[in-house]
Every structure is written in C-alpha cells, then in structure tokens.
Amino acid sequence: MSDDNKEIVVIGHHNPDTDAITAALVYADFLRRMNLNAKAYRLGDLNNETKFVLKTIGIEEPEMLPDNMPEGTQVALVDHNESQQSMKNLKKMNVTHVVDHHKLGDLTTSEPVYLRFEPVGCTGTILTKLFHEHNLDIDQTTAFLLISGILSDTLHFRSPTTTDDDRKIVEYLYPLTKIDNLESYVKKLFEAKSDLTGFSTKKILLLGYKTFHFNDEH
C-alpha cells in the first residue's frame, strides 16, 4: 500500500522501448491525478524512436533512476513485472502498483499491491482504459504518448499480440492527438525505430532486450 506523501517512482524495464517510457510518463500523470506523489524515471538510454516521440510532442526525457535508491522506496512498475528486468534491489523496495500486458513473473510483495494485467498488445491500451474508468480527460500530449506506444509495440497492428482493444483504442485516441495523417506518422515513427545512429554494437543487440526467469534459470 502507498503512502500518499512519499514519492512513487514509476518505471518501465531496462533497455526501455517506447511503450516502457510513454507508459511511465502517462501512469505517473495518472497517479498524480489520483492525488498521489508520482514521478516517471527511466532505466536506460532511450532508443531513437522514443527520442523522436518525445521531441515531436515537446517533452523532456525522464531522469535516469539512481542506483542507490533507499530501501522501502515506493515503486510502480509499467510494461514489466520481472525483477530481472527492473531496478536494482527491487525486492527491497515497496512495490505499490503494477500495470502490464506480459505474463506474470517472479514478483512478490510483502503488502497488498494494485495490479492491472490484460492480454493486450501494449501497456498504453490498459492505461487508456484506466483514464476512461476514472472519468479523466485525455489531453493531446497524453493521447500522443499513448498512441505512439501502442503503434510501436503492436508494429501498427502487425504484431501477433495485437487485439481488437488495441485497434479500438488507437481509433479513439487518433483525433485527440491532432496528428494530421496517421499513416505518415507511423512511417516516421518506424524510420526512427530503425535508425541505429549513435548506438554501439552491444547497445544494438540489447535494444528491447529483456531477461526472463524460467525454472530458476535465466
């Protein structure tokens, strides 16, 4: 359970993709609108696609989360729930919220926690539903972040994980983003996704990389 006055650290996974970053930014905003003290951070350098998204809408990238966070720090996880994919010493932190669209991992908590899992193509789809369920308006910036994460994670609906919910949410968000032409924006988004300028061979290999735990093996 969360302490309303203590900051909730909102993070996506290591080697963050666009969904991890946009979801952290949007969910931190959602929690603040729920009168909680929340701030988005990142667990790695941004890829060029995510940089393109944030630059286009005029948002600064989240701060890098320091390695020396004190034990008991309140943490909200988005787009992941495996400790190997998350911050250092996660098991010593106070995880208060998890919003994800992946399989349930190894996460355990000592106190009750808010969990929201759905088998959809993107965390942004779930977050859009949360805004609706709480009767919260979605402004242009939020809509832009959400639609970018969904289009990226579902590969513009070509990913096998895409659901009808993802398609319906994009259809709903599109007018709110004030994007002139969605197809043109998707083309620019994917051009940025494929731009590996400035990345070392190691970083290229680690783009979107996640660690999973299977039968006590990595």
Q: Tell whether 216 is covered by a domain.
A: no
Query: According to the model, what pLDDT value does residue 214 have?
Result: 43
Query: According to the model, what pLDDT value does residue 76 have?
Result: 99
Instruction: Count the domains in the chain.
Output: 1
Computed over every residue of the chain, the mean pLDDT equals: 92
d(CA 114, CA 202): 36
2 vs 128: which has the higher pLDDT: 128
CATH, residue 185: 3.90.1640.10
> Is the distance from CB of 91 to CB of 72 less than 8 angstroms?
no
Query: According to the model, what pLDDT value does residue 2 have?
Result: 66
Q: Tell whether 39 is covered by a domain.
A: yes
The label of the residue with tokens 């093996």 reads 217
Residue 5 — pLDDT band, cuts 50, 70, 90?
Answer: confident
**Each residue of 73-103: pLDDT tens digit?**
999 999 999 999 999 999 999 999 999 999 9
Q: Tell whether 36 is covered by a domain.
A: yes
For the chain, list the strands marked E by DSSP.
8-11, 38-42, 63-64, 74-78, 94-100, 114-117
Domain assignment of residue 158, given as a range: 8-206
CB atoms within 10 A of CB 63: 10
Radius of gyration of the chain (CA): 17
Q: Tell whether 214 is covered by a domain.
A: no
Query: According to the model, what pLDDT value does residue 99 have?
Result: 99
Q: Tell whether 145 is covered by a domain.
A: yes
Q: Write 151-159 long-range contacts (CB < 8 A, 24+).
A: 151/185, 151/186, 151/189, 152/17, 152/18, 152/19, 152/49, 152/53, 152/122, 152/189, 152/193, 153/17, 153/18, 153/19, 153/121, 153/122, 153/123, 153/124, 154/121, 154/122, 156/186, 156/190, 157/121, 159/121
**Each residue of 146-190: pLDDT tens digit?**
999 999 999 999 999 999 999 999 999 999 999 999 999 999 999
Q: Tell whether 217 is covered by a domain.
A: no
pTM value is 0.89
Q: Tell whether 62 is covered by a domain.
A: yes
Q: Tell whether 211 is covered by a domain.
A: no
